[in-house]
Structures are given as structure tokens and as C-alpha cells.
Amino acid sequence: MNDALAALGVRRLVIGIHDPAFPGLPGEDVGRGSPYSRGAERWLRFVRGLGFDGVQLGPQGQTSDINPSPYDGTIFSRNVLSIDLHQLTEASDGPALLPREALATLAAARPPCSTQRVYHCHVFASQRRALDDAFAGFATTRHPGLTERLVQFKRRHGAWLERDSMYEVLCDLHGGLGFRDWWTLAGPHPDQDLWNPPPERARVAEARRAELGRARRQQLDAFAFRQMLFHDQHAALRRRCRELGLELYGDLQIGLSDQDVFAYRSVLLSRYVMGAPPSRTTPEGQAWGYALLDPSQADAATPGRDGALRLLLARVDKLFDEADAIRLDHPHGLVCPWAYRAGQPDSLFAVQHGARLHAAPDLPDHPELARFAIVDPEQLDRSLPRYADDWECDLRPEQIDRYAVFFDAMVASARNHCRDKRDIVCEVLSTLPRPLAAMLERHGLGRFRVVQKANLDDAADVYRPENARPEDWIMAGNHDTKPIWSVVRDWAVSDKRERWAAHLAARLGTDRRELLAQPGALVHALFAEMFASAAENVSVFFTDLFGFEQSYNVPGTVSEDNWSLRLGPDFERDYAEKVTRGQALNLPRALALAFGGRGPDFRRAHAELVAELERLATEGKR
């Protein structure tokens, strides 16, 4: 496998999976996957054996009890639902924190089919009860080793830990409500300004924080204790991945949770939020409502306040401490974010009539944005929609420097952590505005090529593999698309099946009739075209590898099925059976086809390697 990937110029082969989707083991699984479990360790060894050299996790921030989306999670605190409870039943450098009987009871209480789907509310409640019991045991014994570890953890992470733990306390005090709903008869409650007070209330806010620190010390310590358990298990995962030869990719989501907005409002815009403009893939746009960093604080921290740049760097530095590389979710948000007015009754209408934050120097419907403009009025092509990639006609070098402040800071952080700038993976999909294109070119970084979205009628389409460049990342789909097995199945109801078969046969030098006749042949040919492209980086989402037809997430919808799909404990057997039926990705089969995509001479030059791949592919079917 390694020789085949090297011959095809594939530098990285990464599999994507989110924490809840990992498999568990019987008796240890409480209904949600964890990358730190023994089931996950089996899975990591399995995918390494298939030839993958990297694992792309989703965002790992803490989610709420009613919203499992990791892209709405916290930016510093990590999701304690991912803590592997089995480890807490074992004594290592301290006493066991959880009785085995307690874990067995939780595992037995799982909802039906919880090895295939995560029931978020159930897991949220049961996991928190178990962690509360673990902390109660620690608080009773105060084991010296664990106590010292907690002290050291709080010292290292105090900058974010205090704010996040205090928010949990405040939500409890305000009846479980988020900060936007803290009101008195006279108006907003003073606790809303606990971290962002006006100068005249600074001392009052400081006194309030000290009061809460004394009165709720046990609850604050419990929060820190849970975070310590997560971070300890994550550090152990990184060590295991290094031993296996796997790189770990983190995910820096562009959105901030309400908890983070509360803690860092002083560096955020108050009247505008971020969304996605109308585009080819989502013509109606997406009203995310995510907070926007204040670009006027992009140079340094204001004395006595948090700077926007400092906040971003704190996030990036922490993630580089936890992962080998970073997937940057929607990099537009750091370069040329699409802004629309907050608090509008029709948020979709508002986002459709928004503007780019730095490209609205004189728009009559957004006069407030003029102060953030980087381009001049004459640099705009007003014959185009303002969300068009070429809305900005041209950019001067000094303007690119201004657009680049946040992104350049990320690259500098990578360098400071002894990473290559290519360890920043940019999720650029259907839109590539001129400022962002300039940023990618500035640093020699690529975009995403999602092949299932390719338009066979447009030779210049950005998703077609033949248009990929070496620096790009190419994939059949991701967590927000249908699995490729579902996509190819749906081709049968239109002329797409025949058209794709003809296209792929021509590209790979194979027989169109075989692609139509053999089970899974079109899927493998599509992957072969990806491997034969110029892109050096190939990403496979776990649903595509394992032959799922259910979607992991359907954007723009609210459903219990979103973010819930997971692998069962018998994933190796299930995978082998599906490969035999041509219903899961057989990597040797796809790679053998890929050599034909480089031409007959290339295939002949690697005839022995192709023969070995075909042998492995056949063995995989047995």
C-alpha cells in the first residue's frame, strides 16, 4: 500500500471520524463512541493496517445537552462525553475513580441500537452522573498524586478554565439559562458583564468573581477535574497514534459557542454575525449566527482587555499542543467573513442581503461596515453579486497584508510549534473569494475538491479531479455530504450513472461496461480517479470507507439522526463482509485502477505493483 501511494504521489491518506462515531466494546460502551476507548484503539490499528497515516477528528469542544453539533461546541473546554469511563475503573497512578459495577450498570442501560446510533440526551445525563460520582470519590480521598495533577492542570490552563467553569456556575444560578436570558426587572443582569465590564464596574465584577470562587469552589474544582481527565486521555491517545505511525488532525471550527461569546464579548462585534452567502451548493445561504472577531483588535490586545488576535492564537496554540495538524473550518471567517445584521426577524433574508466584512466601503444598506473596509469603492465589480468570488476586482499588496493578519498568525503559530504550514488544512469548498485565494497562494496551501459534487458539463469545475493541484485535498465527501455509496445509488434514477461510467472509463482506461456491471465498481473508479489526480492529500470520511448509505449530518436540518451515526463493535467483520459484496471501499482495488488513470505507459511501468494490488484486492473480497 505504501509503495502504491508513493508511486501515485499521495503524501497523506487521512480518514475522518468524529468522537461519537468510534466503536466501543461490550460492557464498556455507554452509548457513545470515544477516541480514548479500547474499541477505538482496535479501530486505529485497523485503519493503519489499511494504509491510512492520519486521523481527522471533528471539533472536540463541549456541547450542550440539547445540541450535539460539534461545530457549536466550546473553543477551549473539551467534551467530557468523550471521556472513556472504563479507564476510570482502573487504578493507575491513583485509586480507581469509578466502580466497575457502576460502568456495567450504565452499559446495560443503553438504549436499543446504541451501537449504531448515539442517543445524545441519554448519554449526556448518564456520562455526567458517572463523572460526578468520580469527582465525589476524588473529593473524599484527595489522593496526593491526583490532587497534584489537578493543581498543575489548573495552573497551566487557568486562562480559559476559570471563565468556562464560572459560566457553568452562573448558568446554574440563573436557572439553567444562557447568559442572553439573564435579566432583572431593571434590565440585563450584572452577571452578563462578569468578564466584560465597563470601566466603572470593573471592581464590582472582580469582587463578584471572587465571591463565586469562594462559594462554588467545589463545583469549579469538579469542572476542572473533568477537563483534566479528558486532557490526560487525549495525551495518551497522541502517544498511541505516534507509536502506530498515525498523525492526529484537530478541527478548529469557525463558530463560537454562547459560553465563549459570554467570556470574550470584548473582542467580538455586537451588531453583526457571520454566515455563509448564497453559493452553488447552498443557493439560499446559511444563517449561522456565529460571532465575528473585531478586526480593529487584530493587531494586539487592548490594555486591560482581551485582543481578538490573542484569542485566536490561544485557540491555535492549544490545538497545536493537542494535534499534529489542524483542519481550519471555513477559513473565509478569518480572511473575508460574510457578515449580516444580528437579531433580525428573518435571519435567512438578512444573510442573503449581507456583505463581506472588509468589502463594503460604501454600501447604502450596510453603512456600519464602511469602517472595516480594506478595498476601495472603485475596486468592486458591481455588475456581480456581492458574494461573487470576483466582487473584489483586484488587491494591492498592502491590502493583502491587512486581509492576512489572522491567517498569517496561524501560520506563525504552526512554525512556532515546529509544524509545516501545510499542517493547516483549509476547508475551502464551492466559494473562493479573491482575498482568500490570495491567502492560499501566499502560503502555498490548497483547497478541498469534493468529487461527488463535480459537474461533468463544466471542464473547469473546481470539484473535478483533473483540476486538482498537488497542494489540494481531494475527497469523495465529508461529514456534511451524502456517503458516496448513497450518491452512486441515486445516479441510477437519472442519466448520471451512464455519464459517470463513460467519464471514469475514459479517465482510467478501463471498460465502461465493467463499471456498470460489477458491484461497487463506480465507487471504486471514482476513488481511483482521486488517487490518480495531482492532489497529494486524500481524505476519506469513515462512512465512505465502511459503505454506509446514511448521512452523518444533513446541513440546515435539525434531527436526532444528525451527528449520531457510529461504528459497531464488530466493525472489522462488517467491513470484510461488505468488501466481499462490493459494498465497502477496497483500497487495493481502487489503487490498482488508479494506475490506469496515469496512462498505459505508467501502468505498464508499475505492472508488478498493480498485480500485487489486484492480489490484495481479491484477498479482501474473500
pLDDT of 548 higher than 50:
yes
User: CA 616 to CA 611: how far, in whole Å?
Assistant: 9
Asked if 426 and 285 sit in the same domain, the reply is yes
Q: Is residue 604 part of a domain?
A: no
Asked if 90 and 195 sit in the same domain, the reply is yes
Give the pLDDT confidence score for residue 450 in this predicted structure.
98
Asked if 291 and 436 sit in the same domain, the reply is yes
Asked if 220 and 345 sit in the same domain, the reply is no
Mean pLDDT of 280-290: 91
Whether the Cβ atoms of residue 140 and residue 589 lie closer than 8 Å to each other: no
Residue type, 596: G
Q: Is residue 20 part of a domain?
A: yes
Give the pLDDT confidence score for residue 621 in this predicted structure.
63
Q: Is residue 484 part of a domain?
A: no
For the chain, what is the domain count? 2
Residue type, 404: A
Q: Is residue 571 part of a domain?
A: no
Q: Is residue 481 part of a domain?
A: no
User: DSSP character for 605?
Assistant: H
> Could you tell me the maximum CA-CA distance found in the chain, to the nearest angstrom?
81
The residue from 387, 414, 445 where one domain ends is 445
Q: pLDDT tens digits, residue range 552-569?
A: 999 888 888 999 999 999
Let me know the angle formed at the C-alpha of 472 by 467 and 460, rounded to the nearest 5 degrees: 20
What confidence tier does 133 reach under pLDDT thresholds 50, 70, 90? very high
> In the chain, pLDDT over 90 holds for what percent of residues?
90
Asked if 200 and 90 sit in the same domain, the reply is yes
Mean pLDDT of 597-621: 93
Give the pLDDT confidence score for residue 319 in this predicted structure.
98
Neighbours of 342 (CB within 10 A): 16
pLDDT of 64 higher than 70:
yes
Asked if 20 and 150 sit in the same domain, the reply is yes
Q: Is residue 583 part of a domain?
A: no
Question: Strand, helix or coil at 566?
Answer: coil
User: CA 123 to CA 386: how far, in whole Å?
Assistant: 44
Beta bridge partner(s), residue 268: 293
Residues recorded for the chain = 622
Mean pLDDT of 489-504: 92
Asked if 62 and 197 sit in the same domain, the reply is yes
C-alpha cell at 581: 459484496
Question: Which segment of 162-171, 292-301, 338-347 scores lowest on mean pLDDT?
Answer: 292-301
Buried (b) or exposed (e) across 246-285, using 16+ Cβ within 10 A? bbbbbbbbbbbbbbbbbbbbbbbbeebbbbbbbbebeeeb
The residue from 221, 251, 281 where one domain ends is 251
What confidence tier does 299 reach under pLDDT thresholds 50, 70, 90? low
Residues in contact with 456: Cβ distance below 8 Å, sequence separation at least 6, in sequence order: 464, 499, 500, 503
Mean of the per-residue pLDDT values for the chain? 95
Distances (CA, A) of 55 to 52, 249, 478: 8, 6, 13
Q: pLDDT tens digits, residue range 82-116?
A: 999 999 999 777 789 999 999 999 999 999 989 99
Give the pLDDT confidence score for residue 152 in this predicted structure.
97
- Count Cα atoms within 13 angstroms, Cβ side, for 161: 22
C-alpha cell at 549: 448509505
User: CA 293 to CA 391: how far, in whole Å?
Assistant: 22
Q: pLDDT tens digits, residue range 153-205?
A: 999 999 999 999 999 999 999 999 999 999 988 889 999 999 988 889 999 99
Give the pLDDT confidence score for residue 518 in this predicted structure.
87
User: CA 508 to CA 578: how far, in whole Å?
Assistant: 24
C-alpha cell at 104: 456495567
Give the pLDDT confidence score for residue 301 in this predicted structure.
43
User: CA 65 to CA 18: how far, in whole Å?
Assistant: 18
Q: Is residue 191 part of a domain?
A: yes
Give the pLDDT confidence score for residue 489 in this predicted structure.
94
Asked if 231 and 301 sit in the same domain, the reply is no
Residue 171: phi, psi to the nearest 5? -60, -40
pTM, full prediction: 0.96
Q: Is residue 169 part of a domain?
A: yes
User: CA 425 to CA 327: how far, in whole Å?
Assistant: 5
pLDDT of 302 higher than 60:
no
CATH code for position 170: 3.20.20.80
The residue from 417, 445, 473 where one domain ends is 445
Residue ranges with strand state E in 107-243: 183-184, 187-188
Asked if 233 and 278 sit in the same domain, the reply is no
Buried (b) or exposed (e) across 179-215, using 16+ Cβ within 10 A? beebeeeeeebebbbbbbbeeeeeeebeebeeebeee
**Owning domain of residue 297:** 264-445
**3-state secondary structure string across 340-368:** EECCCCCHHHHHHCCEECCCCCCCCCCHH
Asked if 268 and 247 sit in the same domain, the reply is no
In this structure, the strands spanning 537-541 and 12-16 are parallel
Mean pLDDT of 561-584: 97
Q: Which helix (H) or strand (E) segment is 273 a member of? A: strand 268-276
Question: Strand, helix or coil at 328?
Answer: strand
Asked if 391 and 347 sit in the same domain, the reply is yes
User: CA 553 to CA 544: how far, in whole Å?
Assistant: 14
Distances (CA, A) of 2 to 50, 53, 218, 502, 609: 10, 10, 52, 30, 11
User: CA 60 to CA 499: how far, in whole Å?
Assistant: 40
Mean pLDDT of 236-258: 97
Asked if 329 and 201 sit in the same domain, the reply is no
Mean pLDDT of 54-59: 98
Give the pLDDT confidence score for residue 141 in this predicted structure.
85
